[in-house]
Structure 1
């Protein structure tokens, strides 16, 4: 059976990883099976197509919404509701990924998200005021559930297919995530400026829908037994709680930029709407280009993960303080400084976020969670939920702060949130050795999990 072949390949790769870690197979290059290569192609297409549709709103939707009589706070809520529904969807779908099926969940999520993207392009025909706002909330909420289905299953499948190289594979796939983020804003801005509001959503929505038959054809099926563990047990582990706080702060700072940055750039630097998308490149390019290297470092030298997360978080906090810059720095806003801080922030976000998923997986296994797809569904669901909560908090609170104060103070507040999360995590890593308990698992369990907890993680 196909599932038996996949399990056999996974065990074979784990044994190969263990041999490499002991130096017994140093001269042998690892092989990637056809099924694993198809899995990479499938998840890469999900990352690219989903993010290009997600990111097209930034350059022009806030301006279009203002024409419809929507204020800055409500614009932030429209961006934020996507994240809130993504949060709920990630928790539910992550819990029931085994019952639904990872492959079906991924393909259904892509189709739903693509259809909603097309519908969002037709909202300019809705009357001004409350009807427009209401339809924005409905379509974006349904779109978020589809996105949650695609990304939750994608993370779980990657962790299942590549248990010894999670960070490396995720880092490599972030090239496609970054490519979607890079192409989305300028392409959306160009299509908007050339053809109007509808065309960007219709074109890119159909791109997402066309990815569905590709994934139906190439993606293998992964089955498992439903887990008896829960999100609550996973979340209440102290280390995972702190990692979740860090994930939340980083996603919050990214979500904050969606509804606020384009208006700030247009007002402060007087750039045309078509060029605003190019400013987004500073963040997306630095993140996507650095992620593969950071993933390799995270997998090959797992002891550096804590330092990557702490140093990356501190750098991101400083980047947001200089983004405005913050008024207490008494520096003048300049376009070159703004773009440079975006690039620095993109790199530092990669430093912080790439190691977090393998750290959460490792911590779950160390605390008795089963090594199967159901646990990976819980982990990916929790990760997606926390990330979504941050992308709800960032636009919502950020939009309010920008309206009540200004962009400079709001960006500095985001930097302060990142610093607090990094401070708590750094303190935990400092005191962790004092409270570490000896392993309580049996010899057999330790031998079974040894490959995943080897130097490759």
Structure 2
């Protein structure tokens, strides 16, 4: 394999794409709603324009499950960033075009294209970066989660600064151009001899051996995959729920205006950034199932139950308690999302061990599908309809109930199949000598 130094450089360049992808998700939020209001566009329409990104990501993730060519992973990873960058710049220029229905339609189309590009990046990026250090899957997953979280945290302040310096188009030009240029360095700097991840190590014993394959339907319909996916979607929905429900709740309960709301999101985002490397380390040690069930699903259920009852308990009726609980939910939602690539690999290979050659791509794509589905569930259903008709506290109770159900279902399955703690890495188990030499 390529030298460790070369692979570290490639990893750093790849993670930089995730930073700017996370930044692209939030840099426009500080000024976009206000500018759209000036054009006479309603808040509901603005929300729909924003969610078009996630809807396109969900649909394109399904298609990506059927496109599993390891020789194209690096190209798709880099081209995904280019697509997002071009879409970002185009989105910023629409402000100069016609208003009304034409503007709204073009905004929808542009956001959908960006969502498809993001899917290419996320579905291919995991396998591309994991292939650099296949024995550290958990830590690699934690790194790109941390990178995206860091980008999301700094996005709004950077967007505000660029908007103040050059008006509406400048933030889109700057972020878009960086996302176009940066992947060129990633493509050129990626080691040529690192391409196929786990299967490169496992299947190199016999050069004439045909790489085992498996059907996408057998992966999707695997009971363990379905169980883990359901639990992940439910817990990840907290991301989308707080995106749309937290700001109105702060204004109603604590009279905190939109100009200060961003500061109160920090406990959620910073806790995700801080805890991800810790979880990544223990995922590599074999505790992916324990982290997923205990810290992810169960802790999310408890925290949302506390939020649901906080209106009835005087000691919890303050902003400090709300921020503490929000920070813990940031921790638990991260714990529910980070291990799912490893868990998908484990539960699928337990029944189909001959499919080691394709499981990485399936797992990475399925994780993105779970993420986008969770965002839509949180934004449109729980944070949308349920929040509108039943209020914040009842919405939190719904989150608590479905997280509790997910905890039971996933916990029973993983415990029954002895996947709560699995300390033997499948690469090391298959070929210890090649595993030891993977960092040479």
> Which of the five TM-score ranges fits, normalised by the shorter chain?
0.7 to 0.9
1:337 matched residue in structure 2: 321
Distance 1:67 1:74 in 2: 13
**Native 8 Å contact 1:246 1:418 kept in 2:** yes
> What is the aligned length?
414
Find out whether 1:252 has 2:223 as its counterpart.
no
Q: Deviations over 1:177-211 (max 9, x none)?
A: 22112111333345456765443333322332232
Find out whether 1:93 has 2:64 as its counterpart.
yes
Deviates more, 1:103-112 or 1:202-211: 202-211
Pair 1:57–1:391, CA change in 2 (3 A): farther
Q: Select 2:122's aligned residue among 141, 146, 151.
A: 151
SS of residue paired to 1:95: coil
1:154-193 equivalence runs, <5 A = 154-192=125-163
Q: Select 1:230's aligned residue among 202, 215, 219.
A: 215
Distance 2:99 2:312 in 1: 40
Deviates more, 1:160-169 or 1:122-131: 122-131
**Native 8 Å contact 1:62 1:263 kept in 2:** no
2:293 matched residue in structure 1: 310
Q: Select 1:80's aligned residue among 35, 51, 54.
A: 51
**Native 8 Å contact 2:236 2:336 kept in 1:** no
**Native 8 Å contact 1:82 1:143 kept in 2:** yes
Distance 1:226 1:126 in 2: 51
Normalised TM-score (structure 2): 0.82
Unaligned runs of 5+ in 2: 201-209, 420-426
Pair 1:229–1:57, CA change in 2 (3 A): farther
In the TM superposition, residue 369 of structure 1 has moved relative to its aligned partner by 4.8
Distance 2:89 2:211 in 1: 35
2:342 matched residue in structure 1: 358
Distance 2:307 2:110 in 1: 32
Distance 1:227 1:91 in 2: 22
Distance 1:73 1:326 in 2: 29
In the TM superposition, residue 142 of structure 1 has moved relative to its aligned partner by 0.3
Q: Deviations over 1:238-277 (max 9, x none)?
A: 2211110122112221122223434444555454555433
Pair 1:159–1:311, CA change in 2 (3 A): same
**Native 8 Å contact 2:428 2:435 kept in 1:** no
**Native 8 Å contact 1:259 1:395 kept in 2:** yes
**Native 8 Å contact 1:72 1:403 kept in 2:** no
Distance 1:363 1:73 in 2: 40
**Native 8 Å contact 2:213 2:354 kept in 1:** no
Find out whether 1:110 has 2:92 as its counterpart.
no
